[in-house]
Amino acid sequence: MQIDLSKLVGQDGVVLAGMERGAAARTLFTLDKLDSSLDEVVVTAPETLEAISTSFVQGFLAGSLKTLGEAKLREKYKFELNDVLKEDITDGLKRLLMKRKIAGID
Amino acid sequence: MTEEERRQYFPGSWELHTDDPLVVRSIRLEASRLRRRIAKRPVAKSQSRNKTIRRSVSEKINQRRTRLRHAKKVARDYLKRRRGARVLSFEEKDIKYSLRPSTILDHLVPNRAKKFETSAIRRKRVSGHVAVELKDMSFTHNPRETMNRLGQLAEMETDAFRINIDFHDTHCLDVGPYLLLSTIKRGMPDLFMGGEISSSMSKVMSALELDQELGIWVPVPEDMHTDVFPFPVHRRRESGSSESATRYIDKQTHEKVAGNLKAAIDNWLKITTQQQLNLKGRRSVYKLVTETLDNAERHGDLLEHQNDGDWIVAGFMAKRGQGDEEYYRCHLAFLSTGTTISETIQTTPEPTKSKLKDYVTKHLRQVGTKAHAAEHLSTVFALQDGVTRSEAAVHEKRNGTGFQDILEFYSDLAAQGAERADASLAIVSGRTCVLCNTPYMHGVRQDGEDSEREMWFNEPNTQDLPPDRHNVIELDRCLKGTLISMAFTLDLDYLERTVDRAN
């Protein structure tokens, strides 16, 4: 199974951003369904893409992280992206895993 | 600024429309008040003492009727005089003095609609141009006065026939006030007629296309592009106007704007230093713009158009100084209208709501005035990592990191607050202005890598103490929305680290 982010940004997009956009992409690529399947999911992006904002990653992967946990998520979703985009995914996941004492959640 | 530097702009004129329904209505209202005032006027004491004792009932009725007739006549004459009077008769430009819907103006000018009802009366009393002086206009360094001057200008909407704006700053100190001014102008009749402006301000206005936004014409010097490098005004469509069913799947305007800003910065650097931003620099710019505008769209107009707020953005880089003392000053501002940060955060669910209440209660008497302290403290609380209004986000432990991301990118671009950068970022929302400058440039993780970035604007960076009064400032007027405006001197060391040589 492959998720191609060029469906969102086109072949010449340079940045992918937005919380609601991430959530909408989650619906578009049926991530809820994929989370419960056994298939491996490969995520790709166009070569022009230079940044994915943490807000997008949070909207896109929050549901999967909640369902699978970090280890299983990384096992299931293979991010075939360049190093900086992988860094963006990691930063987004860090935001999701961040302690939230000020907000009283943790 | 010398007199030679100042230039006249936009000499124009217009005709007053006394057929305008609002003008007629306010004149009628005044006539009606006049009639009632005369009718109620008591009979003079000397008359009453001598005559009323012996007066019959019919005489009293007659006297009352005469008084009413007289009051009606006076009111009718007043009405004729006012409606018939062509107070001004200019050519070329027509002005409709009608009340335009404007959330910003409604909150900037208390009782705006009521004042408008009788505005024709006040306009009549003011002859000629009303001059408004805009001086030291900078939210990043002088927020209170800046907001007051814009507020005074907004009040002229109901008082003046025409307004002359004198831009008295030699250089543009901050682009934020002018974005707000352009939004104010959109809600006002076309009152701006002319005024004075320096050649440097003229360059910025023209290069950023703010002259078009303000409906004015400014003289453009020939050397405009040698020391001002613009990122012209970009504006999202009006809030609530999104119709596409796939609006989050479609390409986003804020992503396009981020690309445009990066292209503009590359252009600035190419001209000035023969360099271009490298990947790290480009990513900082992309993320700063998209996170800010995404925040504006999601929270900008919470009450009427959730997740569909509008925004306006503009910026520029200017070369200042000469020879060895040459430096580059960067300005960037984002404005969204509709909802303030403190209003947004009031909708946060539990347990965040209780945490917010605890923080506000603890410092209520130590920030600003009693009437607005809660607003200031709520705004500071909302800037902390992990604080979000969204119930779904709280449930999924996501969101609430946008502000700190914005501040981190700003801090990176502004050399982490080094003195030479003279960096300042103002967050203006409601009656609160939060200044992020040295030593409070961005949030700090205080409890390990997986902890939140905290920014409490006090030296120990703790929520147990109130924020510094120099960084959390109370404004005398309310901005119904949020303005993020920043100014900093571009750090050449940072450039060395982050640029690719053009070759």
pLDDT tens sequence across B248-302: 788 888 888 898 888 888 887 787 777 778 888 888 889 888 988 888 877 766 6
CA B351 to chain centre: 33
CB B83 within 8 A of CB B121: no
Lowest mean pLDDT of B139-143, B192-196, B298-302, name the range: B298-302
Burial group, residue B24, by CB count within 10 angstroms (0-12, 13-18, 19+): middle
Please give the pLDDT value at position B206.
87
Q: Which of B500, B437, B425 is CA-nearest to residue B468?
A: B437
Number of H helices, E strands in chain B: 19, 15
What is the percent of chain A where pLDDT is above 90? 76
CB B367 within 8 A of CB B376: yes
Strands (E), B219-353: 228-235, 275-277, 312-320, 327-337
Instruction: Tell me the pLDDT of chain B averaged across its residues.
Output: 80
Please give the pLDDT value at position B467.
97
DSSP single-letter state for residue B467: P
Model confidence, pTM? 0.79
Q: Which residue has the higher pLDDT, B182 or B225?
A: B182
CB B74 within 8 A of CB B34: yes
What is the percent of chain A where pLDDT is above 70? 100
What residues of A are in contact with residue B402 (Cβ under 8 Å)?
55
What is the percent of chain B where pLDDT is above 70? 78
Its sign, for the CA torsion B277, B281, B283, B287, is negative
With residue B360 as reference, give the H or E element that holds it: helix B352-363
> Would you say residue B56 has pLDDT above 80?
no
Please give the pLDDT value at position B1.
44
| B290/A15 touch (CB, cutoff 8 Å), yes or no | yes
pLDDT band, very low/low/confident/very high, at B243 (cuts 50, 70, 90): low
| A59/B352 touch (CB, cutoff 8 Å), yes or no | no
pLDDT band, very low/low/confident/very high, at B104 (cuts 50, 70, 90): very high
The encoded tokens of residue B83 equal 């409606």
Please give the pLDDT value at position A56.
93
Closest CB from A8, A97, A98 relative to B385:
A98
CB B198 within 8 A of CB B1: yes
> Would you say residue B87 has pLDDT above 50?
no
Closest CB from B249, B400, B449 relative to A103:
B400
What residues of A are in contact with residue B351 (Cβ under 8 Å)?
103-105
CB A44 within 8 A of CB A80: yes
Please give the pLDDT value at position B502.
38
Q: Which bin fits B461, alpha (ψ -120 to 50), beta or left (φ > 0)? A: left
Mean pLDDT of B416-443: 88
Please give the pLDDT value at position A29.
94
> Would you say residue B15 has pLDDT above 50?
no
Distance CA B383, CA A64 (A): 27
Mind telling me how many Å the CA of A100 is from chain B's nearest CA? 6
> Would you say residue B55 has pLDDT above 70?
no
pLDDT band, very low/low/confident/very high, at B16 (cuts 50, 70, 90): very low
Tell me the three-class secondary structure of B90-140, residue by residue: CCCEEECCCCCCCHHHHHHCCCHHHHHHCHHHHHHHCCCCEEEEECCCCCC
Lowest mean pLDDT of B212-216, B247-251, B491-495, name the range: B491-495
Query: What backbone phi and psi angles, to 5 degrees, belong to B404?
Result: -70, -35
Give percent helix, percent strand, percent coil of chain B, each to the nearest 5: 45, 20, 35
pLDDT band, very low/low/confident/very high, at B108 (cuts 50, 70, 90): very high
Q: Which residue has the higher pLDDT, B349 or B247?
A: B349
Mean pLDDT of B233-251: 73
> Would you say residue B86 has pLDDT above 50?
no
Reduce the DSSP state of residue B364 to 3 states and report it: coil
Distance CA B174, CA B331 (A): 6
Give percent helix, percent strand, percent coil of chain A, each to the nearest 5: 55, 15, 30
Inter-helix orientation angle B279-299/A19-28, to 10°: 90
Please give the pLDDT value at position B93.
46
CB B440 within 8 A of CB B449: no
Please give the pLDDT value at position B14.
27
Size of interface A-B (CB pairs under 8 A): 147
Mean pLDDT of B308-331: 83
> Would you say residue B20 has pLDDT above 70?
no
The CB density around residue A40, as the number of other CB atoms within 10 Å, is: 12
CB B447 within 8 A of CB A99: yes
Burial group, residue B501, by CB count within 10 angstroms (0-12, 13-18, 19+): exposed
Q: Which of A16, A98, A101 to mutate to test the interface with B (most CBs of B within 10 A)?
A: A98
| A14/B258 touch (CB, cutoff 8 Å), yes or no | yes
Instruction: Tell me the pLDDT of chain A averaged across its residues.
Output: 92
Mind telling me how many Å the CA of B457 is from chain A's nearest CA? 15
What is the percent of chain B where pLDDT is above 90? 28
DSSP single-letter state for residue B42: P
Please give the pLDDT value at position B13.
27
> Would you say residue B183 has pLDDT above 50?
yes
Please give the pLDDT value at position B359.
96
Mean pLDDT of B344-370: 92
Mind telling me how many Å the CA of B369 is from chain A's nearest CA? 25
With residue B485 as reference, give the H or E element that holds it: strand B472-489
> Would you say residue B185 has pLDDT above 60?
yes
Please give the pLDDT value at position A78.
94
CB B109 within 8 A of CB B150: no
In tens, the pLDDT along A40-77 reads: 999 999 999 999 999 999 999 999 999 999 999 999 99
pLDDT band, very low/low/confident/very high, at B477 (cuts 50, 70, 90): very high
The encoded tokens of residue B368 equal 């600003």
Please give the pLDDT value at position B287.
87
Beta strand A77-79 pairing with A41-44? parallel
- Give the ipTM: 0.90
> Would you say residue B418 has pLDDT above 80?
no
CB B310 within 8 A of CB B235: yes
